[in-house]
Structure 1
């Protein structure tokens, strides 16, 4: 383990937010190369399984502290279409990062990253909400 390659510098909050607004299609992981991703959350917040992740969240702070920016990005992935699941190709790309890149909490992360399709009743509630007149209607 005498590899002298320095660890990647974590994304700053500003870079992360800009990446989210830009809807990046690939991220470049040092020592791995470009990694295709679906899309990064449009904001700093993303809800998975009812949990809120923000750049101030303890879990995300831990990822910053562990200097694993790619893991942070992967846990914040949010498909443009919420009914869309990660593909096998997505998982393979993540797993290809290897054990020295992906930390032991990865299996738990993988579960959080699975976007579940909205339940029919949730979908109906969302549609009802979007039918309501709003000040910003187009």
Structure 2
């Protein structure tokens, strides 16, 4: 079954009309950084599909250069064209957003990447806020708003 899923995803990655990428880097229990790559594809009938494309272990350092070379190697090895990339979303970490050597800056300097928009995902900040938010305030607001 997993071969069929991979085959379908590769087929989808060849037939989209536009796509965007989302990246999230975290460290696993063995202290190895893992880079998760998600894709949102838009097809010619205007349907959208989101998939987890790959989890790449980042051995050693997690600088922008390391992330860039790992991502570029993956896209080259899978023959995934980047010409229709329209956006990249990250968590805002310096390795991704550094002005000179961040992943996004390196993508913009590379001729294989087209012009694309960048976005900052706020899920991490929302999770941190949720830890410190007093739930009584939420219920009070809900009573007055409802």
Q: TM-score, normalised by structure 2?
A: 0.28
Q: Taking CA–CA contacts closer than 8 Å with sequence separation of 6 or more, which of the two structures ends up with the larger relative contact order?
A: 1
TM-score by length of 1: 0.29
